[in-house]
Amino acid sequence: MAKIGLFQRIKNRIRNAAPIPVTAGGMVEFGDVLEMATSGQNVTAETSKNVATAYRCINVLSDDVAKLPLQTFISRTPGQIERVRASSRLENIAWLLEVSPNRWMTPLVFKKTAIMWLLTHGAAYIWQPPRTAGRRRELFLLPSSVTSPFFDVNFNLWYQVNMPGQPVNNYPEAEVLTLLINSTDGITGKSVISYARDTLGRQLAAYETQNKFYSQGLNPGGIIWIAGEANQEARDKIRDSYGKAMTGTSNAYRLAVLDNKITKFEQVTMKPTDAQFLESIQENDTEIANFFGVPLYKLNQGKQSYQSNEQQNLDYLNTTLDPYLVQWEQAAAMKWLTEEEQNYTYFRFNRDALLRTDAKTRGETLEKAIFSGRLTPNEARQIEDMSAYVGGENHYIPANMVAVEASDESPDDEGEEEETETPPNTRPPGR
């Protein structure tokens, strides 16, 4: 009963969720992101990209994941690993992941789009239709903004896609690979933007204030005293006349001429605390980068580290990218392999594509790999996109290396054996 109660609560939570709103332009926004930030700004998946740091973080993460090849490997015998080659004839999963996920997308665009959905909506949904005769095998991305999970009466998980102006489509859980971030139930996720809404709102508000500041030609406001009384129309006319003459970048530092109707003009100067809001823009950028987990050096901000580029990329891979990569690898094994294939087949992103360094360092690394027996010369040449040569398929190790088992036979043991063979009464010559 406890287990059923848990599923019932999750089911009710999903079914009772507020409907996903649709903007006037037809762009569907996700769940609660349309809530107004404390700064008074509406922060959505699209408006957040008007913040340069958020735009850059989304593209850096999605590009870095997208450029890593997702490869398929088979290991039926311990120690024997073989990479599955893409085959357009078989339309195997390696071909879908490395050559053509569907009829429209390249692998890079496919992976980049999935990660962008994941970051901005908290979930990415990849649908693999059942194979039918006469149709090629494909992988499709379901728009996260209009896709929501739900349970049927038998507690089977489904994914409902409700596109505006189109019939509702339901997809069984077995056909949909799901990537999630910030999930509290393993079924739904929450986007980075929803957590960073207030910070993004402050940044949007700062941009708006800054734009108004520059639109005034860097001229602050002022107070005008006039002789006698003036109705609202007269006040507006004087205000507009002053604004037309003084505001705008073309009027910056222009001389103002006032007639005798103006008895006094007092400029409203900017306080030092008001000017410091420009510094807060940089602080907001740092907060946004922390929400996304992107180091500042990837955004051309902050102090540069003394670490090498390779070490920085390694830290970035381990702390930021790996959770995305490992989740995709594990989900792919669950959804795209049969139970039998899961015993010997697995998926791996080629992380070395991110850690590519300069030619000198790369050459030294490959040389060490060859002379330690990890790679054959031909395998190293393949990494450099060079042709193989005859004899380059052999593994090499230093000549002075011996097997671990052979180390048990020490020279002292051999000497002791020779001494036992000498007769006890035999003396060396001359004694």
Helix (H) or strand (E) holding 125: strand 123-127
Closest CA to 289 of 33, 59, 30, 77: 59
The pLDDT value recorded for residue 30 is: 40
Cα 82 to its chain centre, rounded Å, is 29
SS3 203: helix
Range name among 136-145, 169-178, 206-215, 305-314 with the lowest pLDDT average: 206-215
The pLDDT value recorded for residue 418 is: 47
Q: Average of pLDDT values for 214-238?
A: 66
The pLDDT value recorded for residue 198 is: 85
* The dihedral sign for the CA sequence 392, 394, 395, 398: negative
Q: Average of pLDDT values for 116-138?
A: 93
In the predicted model, is pLDDT for residue 252 greater than 60?
Answer: no
- In whole angstroms, what is the distance from residue 372 CA to residue 419 CA? 38
Range ranked top by mean pLDDT from 53-62, 247-256, 366-375:
53-62
Closest CA to 378 of 366, 360, 368, 364: 366
SS3 124: strand
Range name among 38-52, 53-67, 88-102, 169-183 with the lowest pLDDT average: 38-52
Tens of pLDDT along 260-276?
A: 666 666 665 555 455 56
Under 8 Å between Cβ of 30 and 156: no
- In whole angstroms, what is the distance from residue 33 CA to residue 352 CA? 36
The pLDDT value recorded for residue 19 is: 39
Closest CA to 353 of 119, 98, 93, 124: 98
Range name among 53-67, 239-253, 295-309 with the lowest pLDDT average: 239-253
Of 226 and 182, the structure prediction assigns the larger pLDDT to 182
Residues of the chain above pLDDT 90, percent: 39
The pLDDT value recorded for residue 222 is: 65
- In whole angstroms, what is the distance from residue 320 CA to residue 144 CA? 22
In the predicted model, is pLDDT for residue 253 greater than 70?
Answer: no
Q: HSE-up of 347 (CA within 13 Å, CB side)?
A: 23
- In whole angstroms, what is the distance from residue 345 CA to residue 101 CA? 19
In the structure, what pLDDT confidence band is assigned to residue 27 with cuts at 50, 70 and 90?
very low
Residue partners of 326: CB distance under 8 A and separation at least 6: none
pTM of the model: 0.72
Q: Average of pLDDT values for 204-210?
A: 73
Pull the structure tokens for residue 366.
């490959």
The pLDDT value recorded for residue 158 is: 95
In the predicted model, is pLDDT for residue 225 greater than 80?
Answer: no
Report, in this order, helix, strand and coil percent for the chain, each rounded to 5.
45, 15, 40
E strand segments, 208-335: 222-226, 262-267
The pLDDT value recorded for residue 4 is: 45
The pLDDT value recorded for residue 31 is: 41
Say if residue 224 is exposed, middle or buried (CB neighbours under 10 Å; 0-12, 13-18, 19+).
middle
Tens of pLDDT along 139-163?
A: 999 999 999 999 999 999 999 999 8
The pLDDT value recorded for residue 127 is: 96
- In whole angstroms, what is the distance from residue 29 CA to residue 33 CA? 7
- In whole angstroms, what is the distance from residue 175 CA to residue 194 CA? 28
- Average pLDDT value for the chain: 78
Under 8 Å between Cβ of 51 and 204: yes
Of 291 and 9, the structure prediction assigns the larger pLDDT to 291
The pLDDT value recorded for residue 44 is: 83
In the predicted model, is pLDDT for residue 300 greater than 60?
Answer: yes
In the predicted model, is pLDDT for residue 239 greater than 60?
Answer: yes
